[in-house]
Structure 1
């Protein structure tokens, strides 16, 4: 009997050691999962209000990788309208928002597949007879806004006003691409729309929006350079109209701030409650070194010119959550 004692002792030690190892493994896995969850929840919110499916042929997989590389936590997809041959689409030249972008159904499909990554807006060619029913269909399916409206119509045309009425009825914002003599014509009159629809939030985007940060802007110059004279139309309307906002995306947004960084820094602070981060870039990489990735360049520029963390977070996510009513 005494000879068996060492064996029993060894067995007890082996069981104790095994239990300790198992417990240690479980604790280690639990700690790793907890650290991963904490890291994910600690990641700052970055909402991109301006991206597209099939942007110049980019795949959905590359879009997802692009957004993840930039650190985007939620993306708003902006679909194209129908392929309609008419003056408002420049007789077909502006199909797919002039970038081969796909329509409502493609955006809706991607949202259903990745509800944690994407939300979407509804869209249609402004002056099509069935524009309002088409947009309303997707608003009922959960679209959080209307846009990107990028068609050759007067910004205060009868058809545009019907669309603004729809936005008012559903309590959603409208995002418009303003480009001199090309899309949403009559920017100088848009303040009248802001006054007519005080409960509708309008988000202005593109060359004419951003050229008009400058009081000395010449409308035909889509990518102006040099020092900015404060007090342009966009600057005034952001100050005077609670329902007017600006989308920072694309080369036009980037140009407005890089042409005069001193003015840009003051503009960011002055309008920190009215500016919404967007990318609108077509590349697949999502890094500042990529020449077409204006989205990652704008992120870096905001971090450079906006030292106040609270203001940065408004621009990166807070304003968008408020305007688009995102949880």
Structure 2
């Protein structure tokens, strides 16, 4: 089985012992941990344009440039000057950004600034990975109401823009009869899934909707009800992407191992698993050529090594 692509990492150029209340690992530190988890390539999320404690566009770009065979990066946008959003995104695309993410501006999805981001990203062919919050003023993330009516509006308004959903309020809608309180929408999913969930309806209707399976929000959505989760993975294998949301080398989320186990048991098809953990990311983020070139380079290195040894 080919190694996984992790579409959701947060890293720093240098280790931060206690950044924002948790340790932040560097790109170099994370590599052995990724190898242990069977992850061959990762996409680093940005925290925005300004210099921050970690995760600015410039920082993410430098890590990816230092390890081009292991990392790519997405860009973030600060909530300023909506009229310059297109030009800024175009510049970041030219610098190598493969998408916009993690978009976490705490406004409703129909806010003018977010509309400007969506319009520009669609025109530039950049996928948008968003973190969702249940309401404005609570934590961080773009905001939608129960049942995701604003997301549906955006999916319909920007049909050529790839939206990649992430976090608890997004995955909460996998179950029918999902609770509508802020507390319920912010919990990790648990227990049996009731058929008729809003997410399945949106996946069915909008081909530009994708799901980020990272963190406990995505992982619990798949593992909380095994029979339902496995069926969901098979049905929507072309729209789901593996990720972890790791910030340091002490973190490990169970979904990757669970997927491997289900393939070994014959409960999940090899094709579905490979599409989810690798194929979709290659296609959506345009990584195919980069990974192919890297694979050729590694093959050449092995051939050269054998020649030196006289094999």
174, 197, 203: which is aligned to 2:158?
197
**How far did residue 62 of structure 1 move?**
2.0
Larger Rg: 1
Could you say what secondary structure the match of 2:237 adopts? Answer: coil
**How far did residue 299 of structure 1 move?**
0.9
Could you say what secondary structure the match of 1:208 adopts? Answer: helix
**How far did residue 283 of structure 1 move?**
3.5
Structure 2 residues without counterparts, runs of 5 or longer? 13-18, 289-311
159, 176, 180: which is aligned to 2:113?
159
Structure 1 residues without counterparts, runs of 5 or longer? 1-42, 85-95, 286-291
Q: Higher strand share goes to which structure? A: 2
After TM superposition, the structure 1 stretch with the greater mean CA deviation from structure 2, 191-200 or 74-83, is 74-83
**How far did residue 67 of structure 1 move?**
1.5
**How far did residue 136 of structure 1 move?**
2.8
Could you say what secondary structure the match of 1:159 adopts? Answer: helix
272, 281, 303: which is aligned to 1:311?
272
Partner residue, 1:44: 2
**How far did residue 227 of structure 1 move?**
1.0
Partner residue, 2:142: 184
**How far did residue 128 of structure 1 move?**
5.3
**How far did residue 45 of structure 1 move?**
3.6
Partner residue, 2:297: none
Partner residue, 1:77: 44
Q: Higher helix share goes to which structure? A: 1
239, 263, 275: which is aligned to 1:274?
239
**How far did residue 126 of structure 1 move?**
3.9
Partner residue, 2:126: 172
Distance in 2 of aligned mates of 1:82 and 1:144: 15
Partner residue, 1:289: none
Distance in 2 of aligned mates of 1:132 and 1:293: 36
Partner residue, 1:253: 218
Could you say what secondary structure the match of 2:130 adopts? Answer: strand
Could you say what secondary structure the match of 1:245 adopts? Answer: strand
The RMSD of aligned alpha carbons is: 2.0
**How far did residue 74 of structure 1 move?**
1.4
Partner residue, 1:123: 76
Distance in 2 of aligned mates of 1:231 and 1:126: 36
Aligned length: 263
Deviation track 1:97-118 (CA, whole Å, cap 9, x = no partner) reads: xxx5421011100111111111
Could you say what secondary structure the match of 2:29 adopts? Answer: helix
**How far did residue 315 of structure 1 move?**
0.3
Distance in 2 of aligned mates of 1:231 and 1:173: 27
Change in CA separation of 1:270 and 1:127 when aligned onto 2, cut-off 3 Å: farther
Deviation track 1:152-188 (CA, whole Å, cap 9, x = no partner) reads: 0111211111111211121121000012114211233
